[in-house]
Structure 1
């Protein structure tokens, strides 16, 4: 059986972690889908959202960048970051291109597909929602904060998170989850990359209802900071399961054997780190881990 042609894999998250995961799933082509967080409010993306509105494009751009196989003028344009004094400093041309398409009333998913076609990217990239929304968090002291960057900087531990305003998930994200043979959460920033899509009720419900799919959580290789860094691995897994309507995570993949996690979940210790940068996941090792899982 050719796993790449017969199995469908969906990865959920954002930023560098999801980009890395999707690069590992490249052989699956259009049978792989990334459901991407759209709540970022920092950097070039945050500045664009502040003056233009719209969803956050940065994580989708990052995922597409990691899937480009043939360097070209188009890919160099898409990855170009302005430098120097003035308004354009720090802005990424890819973010501006996607914002321009959005302003032309092109549906965000169609804008991404136009860029994917231009850069010959086969893996599907789907925004978690096509409507602007921000991450909000409630601390254990009863204080609400708004925005990913504010959540990352919170000095108190978190009680819960929400999206403001409440927005619908993209129907393509929901149908990809319903059809998946494997659903992957992580790696990536737990509170600001992995959790936001799970806060959409339709996404949590689609994961809960797909009982044939293996639900996999992939641990980070380096510690996080801020409130996510103060959460235990068990708390992170419990937050995911709660968002997915108590759907049990079938498998946790990581490099450090945690006895408490192993006791409660099916923990598989496997080498995942890149040889030259031990804080980053190796694409080939990730690919092999997922293929092994789907071959069982």
Structure 2
């Protein structure tokens, strides 16, 4: 951790894998880091649980917590366990089931998350974008309305618009964390289904519009499959800015020097990829790039 940044308040927004990487890169900053997690996933184990139990999607939250566990324990092994076999439990992650159960026992989903954080000794704050069940929906280029993240991912073309259905309020702690942040990080991750959903909540969009914090967009390291793969970096930036009421993104952080981005944006090129998986952000590289970006900027 750069000591000159030790009191910096970070807010990172996104979904499971990408957001988890950012949060783990910022882990040395402890309680000064808040992750705001998308809760609209309707695929895999999460989607099956939502279909029979209702509630928010827990999978991305579980993924983020998994990447923040520093002390292996029986509790952490249970939280990461995934069932195999031919029965109804096949493919289910026990962490998803635990969070669902705790959510049913708690007054608020956030209480369930904090119980798990305490049990697994995770200092970073993890906040669901909303504590109310909702899905990601889209309007296609043909004017058709579709619902569900899996349906959005299967679109042959980029939708003309995304929205949250039904309209739900943002978690008040998420709005407060944004208003107090010094640095706000968007991405990396699936752009349409991880980065965009939290931004579509009006309270979060308004909070981002009014921040004095630096807003940083972290690029993916490889082109996405599905409709997001057809979007240029500038188009993604404009979608984010539209959701933020026109608030400009201050810095774009990426690895590819050949990417064409309007020179009005500050584009910082840094080594971000893992040595073993060129499409995955390395925690240490990402941590170093963020610190250098802030110190030099």
TM above 0.5, yes or no, is: yes
How many pairs does the alignment contain? 295
Provide the rounded CA distance (Å) in 2 between the counterparts of 1:12 and 1:146: 22
1:294 match: 294
- Give the deviation of 1:208 after TM superposition: 1.1
Number of the residue aligned with 1:78 = 79
Deviation track 1:245-290 (CA, whole Å, cap 9, x = no partner) reads: 1001000011113564142311111111111211110111111122
Provide closer, same or farther for how the CA distance between residues 179 and 97 of structure 1 changes in structure 2, counting only shifts above 3 A: same
Residue in structure 1 matched with residue 109 of structure 2 by the alignment: 108
Give 2:246's aligned residue. 246
Corresponding residue for residue 184 of structure 2: 183
Q: For 1:166 and 1:234, how far apart are their aligned partners in 2?
A: 27
What is the CA-CA distance between 1:87 and the residue it aligns to? 1.0
Q: Is the 8 A contact 1:187 1:220 kept in 2?
A: yes
Task: Report whether the alignment pairs 1:216 with 2:216.
Answer: yes
CA distance in 2, matches of 1:210, 1:232: 26
How big is the shift at 1:207? 1.0
Q: Distance in 2 between matches of 1:201 and 1:189?
A: 21
SS at 1:6 equivalent: coil
2:103/2:111 contact within 8 Å kept: no
SS at match of 1:261: coil
Does residue 62 in structure 1 map to residue 63 in structure 2?
yes
Deviations 1:192-235 (A, max 9, x none): 00000000011111111112x11000000011011101111111
In structure 1, the gaps of 5 or more residues are: none
Listed one character per residue, the Cα deviations across residues 124-145 of structure 1 (whole Å, up to 9, x for unaligned) are 1000000000000001111111
Give unmatched runs, 5+ long, in structure 2. none
1:66-109 deviations in Å (ceiling 9; x for gaps)? 00011100000000111112111111111001111111133111
Give the corresponding residue for 2:265.
265
For residues 271 and 105 of structure 1, what CA distance do their matches in structure 2 show? 42
Matches within 5 A, 1:1-296: 2-211=3-212, 213-258=213-258, 260-295=260-295, 296=297
3-state SS of 1:141 partner: coil
Is the contact made by 1:68 and 1:119 (CA closer than 8 Å) also made in structure 2?
yes
With the length of structure 1 as denominator, give the TM-score of the two structures.
0.97
**Aligned partners of 2:164 and 2:19: how far apart in 1?**
20
